[in-house]
Amino acid sequence: MTSLIVGVLLVVGGAMLGIALDRALLQRWIRNRDPQRRHRAPGGGAHRRRQSARRVIEDAERRMESAEAGQVSAETAASRVEASLDALEAGLVLCDRDGRVVAHNTAATQFLQARHGEALVTRVIKELLEQARSGEQATTRVELHAEPRRSYEVRAGPVERGGEMLGAIALVHDITEHDRIESVRRDFVANVSHELKTPIGALSLLADSLAADTDPEVAARLAGRMQIEIQRVANTIDDLLTLAMLEDESGRADERVDIGAVVAAASDRISETAELRDVKVVVSMPADLAPIRGSRLHLESAVFNLLDNAIKFSDPGERVDVQVETDRDTLTLSVTDEGIGIPAAEQSRIFERFYRVDRARSRSTGGTGLGLSIVRHVALNHGGEVSVTSREGLGAQFNLELPLDNGD
Amino acid sequence: MTEQTRKGFHAEIDEISDLIVQLAARAGDAVARATDALLKYDLVEAQQIIDDDDYIDVAAIEVEEKCQSLLALQQPMAGDLRQILAAMWITGELERTGGLACNICKGARRMFRTELPPRLRGLIAEMNEEAIRLIRLSVDSYSERDAALASALHDIDDRLDSLHRTFVKTLLESSRTHDLDVQPSMQLALIARYYERIGDHAVNISDRVRYMVSGVMPWRAGLARHRVRDELRTHELAADPAEMSSDSDDKAD
């Protein structure tokens, strides 16, 4: 059984090491061998016999040395292979011909000793190994729905050498992040075309109606609608440009920014919207705050977007709290609302461009779907981060954390 | 029989406990999936969960049959016997948990097209998390044979019970403020009850774990109380035989 483990480890390891192996090294090795072969050809008589005897001895010695070295190098190679398998992110499980698990790497331990959701992966590994032992390749995806949500891909295949079945190998990949990125990409394409096409489609219809209608009253109404749609596109383009600038980072100014002034300016800008929706914005922050290094304009835009978002998802009569707190080197600005809240599954996605929790509602609130992406980019550009905690029906709290400029 | 002897009794028992862990993982995942389907109004997924419940049933039967054959062929005693009995009971609880996940899906189906008020959605998400936490803790207590953790589950379950009460209260308010119809209101009340039941099944599992580890039978507390009451009553009756007739009248009501 040990020989099987070592054998299979060597096969797998060999394949991995093979990629890294320098071809030049191989060539040098072949070149070194050639002169030895040529030595054997010349010479004659007693001298030649003596020489050949010495050569035999030398040869034997060399062979013994290389045999010992070979053994040592096989051992180091095996342990090296083992170490590299442990370094793999993917879980690897090997079973022998009878289906007994004979080896696994560190990453696979969590599945073989799994107790909660991951126990489902254990089951799939066993099923696929079973299939692989009968000679077929098999792949299955496993999705775990309880928090923390994860997705795994399990692949299994037979391990053979010279037509002899040695066992089967299973690989487990955590594809959660891969899936997330994939859905971000997919949704972005869908959402961006939706956001840009909807107002354009509306404009085209309105323009058609306008062209066909002669009644000035109707024309005025249609023109008014067109202005709304144009404003919508203009807002989207503005926000997209802001995002592009933020991503570029070229617009980042290196000034000392007083966050108190930033919050005051942002809440001043939002006050009209807040009044219109009958939402009260309450600001509380300590008197003298240490400054932040960065761009005043961008920080103001971030705070404005947080407030705008909070007000949009609040019902009339509710309040939005803005609080600024500092510890030794971090400033935390939190915006808390009492609105509808965000479902747990969506919380990680709301900072994506154009991502909407509820499309139907977002159209009536009139946002661009880019506000929170802007907030995140500003946070990242300032070496900080933004996070959210929320329970549906109990509002949401956004925390913007920024490093303070302590003068060092 | 040959397989039995080859694998050895304790290897068989270990296998049963692995199967139970996997069954619990499936049941817990079904609850989480059902909650997703409910909150995303996803009827296709709901149907899929109902179909997939057959896997849970099959897995439960697999454990039961293994237990039965061990009982029949090995005639285990003491701790070994308790372990097998506990496994059979726990399997039943997990199978019911899977069944309740299906009930949640069926509820989702019956109230399709009803937009749920945000607060109720939040409470459903919370009940889901709490129910899954209880399942996980009960499995932990089983795998680690941790009787102390198992006894704590009764108290831990209080949170789910109180969430259930809050949910019903909020539901009554919402049916006025959000104009919920009778049918969805009723389904929501039932769904909340299903989560609460899932928690109870986890507590039942923990009771069986306590039995498995120490031999106590927490579920017999009611029986013990009944016996004491019975005994007291016989004493009272012996003292005053006239009570007898009025007592039987009460029972007839």
**CATH number of the domain within which A273 lies:** 3.30.565.10
pLDDT score of A138: 92
State whether residue B26 sits within 8 Å of chain A by CB.
Answer: yes
Q: How many domains does chain B have?
A: 2
Q: What is this model's ipTM?
A: 0.80
Domain assignment present for A253 = yes
**B25 contacts A119? CB cut-off 8 A:** yes
The reply to whether A58 falls in a domain is: no
With an 8 Å Cβ cutoff, are A147 and B32 in contact?
yes
For residue B167, give how far its alpha carbon lies from the nearest alpha carbon of chain A (Å).
Answer: 12
The last residue of a domain, from among A174, A199, A228: A174
Domain identity same for B112 and B24: yes
> Is the pLDDT assigned to residue B141 strictly greater than 90?
yes
> B56 near B94, Cβ under 8 Å?
yes
Cβ atoms within 10 Å of A223's Cβ, excluding its own:
12
Residue A408 forms part of a structural domain: no
C-alpha to C-alpha distance for A375 and A356, rounded to whole angstroms: 15
In a domain, A79, yes or no: yes
Both B107 and B78 in one domain: the answer is yes
Residue of A nearest to B122 (CA): A392
Considering the domain architecture, whether residues A167 and A83 belong to the same structural domain is answered as: yes
Does residue B121 contact residue B160 with C-beta atoms inside 8 Å?
A: no
pLDDT at A344: 87
Among A122-136, A379-393, B88-102, the range with the most confident prediction by mean pLDDT is: B88-102
Q: Which residue is listed with tokens 């009944």?
A: B226
Domain match, B130 and B235 both: no
pLDDT of residue A43: 46
Number of domains in chain A: 2
Range name among A98-112, A295-309, B17-31 with the lowest pLDDT average: A98-112
Distance CA B163, CA A289 (A): 41
Mark yes or no for CB contact A115/B140 under 8 Å.
yes
Residues 103 to 162 of B: which have CB under 8 A from any A CB?
117-123, 125-126, 129, 132, 136, 139-140, 143
Interface subset of A 297-356, CB within 8 angstroms of B: 340-341, 343-345
- Return d(Cα A365, Cα A374) in angstroms, integer: 18
Give B217→chain A minimum CA distance, Å.
25
A162-206 pLDDT, tens per residue?
A: 888 899 999 999 999 999 999 888 888 888 888 888 888 989 999
Q: Which domain holds residue B253?
A: 224-253
Average pLDDT over chain A reads 83
Cα–Cα distance for residue pair B46/B40, rounded to 1 Å: 10
Residue A53 located in a structural domain: no
Nearest CA in chain A to B121: A392
How many CB atoms lie under 10 A from the CB of residue A343?
A: 21
Contact check, Cβ <8 Å, B125/A343:
yes
With beta carbons under 8 A apart, name residues in chain B contacting A120: 22, 25-26, 29
Q: Count of A–B CB contacts within 8 Å?
A: 69
Q: Assign A26 a pLDDT band (cuts: 50, 70, 90).
A: very low
The distance of A141 to chain B (nearest Cα, Å) reads: 15
* Contact at CB, A145 and B22, closer than 8 angstroms: no
| Cβ B166 vs Cβ B119: under 8 Å | no
Tally Cβ neighbours within 10 Å of residue B179: 8
Q: B249 with B150, same domain?
A: no
Domain co-membership, A125 together with A256: no
Distance, in Å, from the CA atom of A140 to the CA atom of A154, rounded to the nearest integer, reads 5
Answer yes or no: are the C-beta atoms of B121 and A343 closer than 8 Å.
yes
Residues B119, B237 share a domain: no
Is there a single domain that holds both residue B184 and residue B114? Answer: yes
| Mean pLDDT score, B205-210 | 96
Q: Report the distance separating Cα B125 and Cα B121, nearest Å.
A: 6
Classify residue A45: in a domain, yes or no: no
CA neighbor of A13 nearest in space, from A82, A70, A65: A82
Return left, alpha or beta for B64; rule: phi > 0 is left, psi -120 to 50 is alpha, else beta: alpha
**Subunit contact A119:B33, Cβ cutoff 8 A:** no
**Quick check: A394 contacting B, CB < 8 Å?**
yes
Q: Cα–Cα distance between B205 and B190 in angstroms, integer? A: 22
SS3 A382: coil
Q: Are residues A349 and A375 in the same domain?
A: yes
CATH code assigned at A132: 3.30.450.20
The reply to whether A228 and A149 lie within a common domain is no
B24 close contact with A: CB closer than 8 A: yes
Does the pLDDT of residue B213 top 50, yes or no?
yes
> Is the model's pLDDT at B243 over the cut of 60?
no
Residues in chain B with CB shorter than 8 Å from the CB of A119 are 21-22, 24-25
A213-217, A252-256, A303-307, B51-55: which has the minimum mean pLDDT?
Answer: A252-256
Nearest-angstrom CA–CA distance, B24 and A213: 67
Structure tokens at B184: 């969805």
Contact A103, A112 (CB under 8 A): no
Residue A147 touches chain B, beta carbons under 8 Å: yes
Q: Measure the N-to-C terminal CA separation of chain B; round to a whole number of Å.
A: 56
Report the pLDDT averaged over residues A221-229: 90
Picking from A342, A357, A392 by the largest number of B CB atoms within 10 A of its own CB, the best residue to mutate is: A392
Choose among A91, A101, A109, A104: nearest CA to A132. Answer: A101
| A20-24, A210-214, A307-311, B216-220: the lowest-pLDDT one | A20-24
Among the ranges A60-74, A203-217, B29-43, B175-189, which has the highest mean pLDDT value?
A: B29-43
Quote the minimal CA–CA distance from B30 to chain A in Å: 8
* Last residue within a domain, chosen from A152, A174, A196: A174
Q: Which of A351-360, A362-371, B24-33 has the lowest average pLDDT?
A: A362-371
| Domain region containing A197 | 180-403
- The residue of B121, B135, B171 whose CB has the most chain A CBs within 10 angstroms, and thus the best one to mutate to test that interface, is B121
B20 touches chain A (CB under 8 A): no
> pLDDT-based confidence at B249, cuts 50/70/90?
very low
Q: Decide if A118 and B32 are in contact by the 8 Å CB cutoff.
A: no
B4's enclosing H/E stretch is helix B2-7
B248 shares a domain with B141: no
- Which residue's structure tokens are 């698990």? A101
* CB B32, CB A146: distance < 8 Å: yes
pLDDT at position B7 is 62
Confidence of residue B132 (pLDDT cuts 50, 70, 90): very high
User: Would residue A55 count as lying in a domain?
Assistant: no
Residues A184 and A289 in one domain: yes
Query: Which three-class secondary structure state does DSSP give residue A137?
Result: coil
A289 and A366 Cβ atoms separated by less than 8 Å: no
C-alpha to C-alpha distance for A404 and A294, rounded to whole angstroms: 10
In a domain, A60, yes or no: no
Do B172 and B235 fall into the same domain? no
User: pLDDT class for A21, splitting at 50, 70, 90?
Assistant: very low
Which residues from B are below 8 Å from A360, CB to CB?
none
Judge whether residue A30 has pLDDT over 90.
no
**Per DSSP, which regions of A182-233 are E strands?**
none
One domain, residues B152 and B32: yes
The whole-angstrom separation of Cα A231 and Cα A222 is 14
Which of A392, A142, A171 lies closest to B29 in space, CA to CA?
A142
How, if at all, do strands A385-390 and A330-336 pair?
unpaired
How big, in percent rounded to 5, are the helix, strand and coil portions of chain B? 90, 0, 10
Give the pairing of strands A150-161 and A396-403. unpaired
Q: Are residues A115 and A163 in the same domain?
A: yes
Is there a single domain that holds both residue B178 and residue B231?
Answer: no
pLDDT at A402: 93
State how far the Cα of B66 lies from the Cα of B69, in Å rounded to an integer: 5
Do B177 and B98 share a structural domain? yes
Distance CA A226, CA A143 (A): 46
Same domain, A230 and A376: yes
CA distance B116 to B120: 7
Could you say which of A138, A159, A174 is where a domain stops? Answer: A174
Q: Does A358 touch chain B (CB under 8 A)?
A: no
Task: Check whether residue A116 and residue A196 sit in a common domain.
Answer: no
A265 and A385 together in one domain: yes
Cβ neighbours of A345 in B, within 8 Å: 36, 39
Does B143 sit within 8 Å of A115, measured CB to CB? yes
Do residues A243 and A386 share a domain? yes
DSSP 8-state assignment for residue A149:
P
A152 and A202 inside one domain: no
Q: How far from the centroid of its chain's Cα atoms is residue B178's Cα?
A: 32
DSSP state at residue A5: H
- Both B30 and B154 in one domain: the answer is yes
Hey, which residues does A389 pair with through a beta bridge? A397
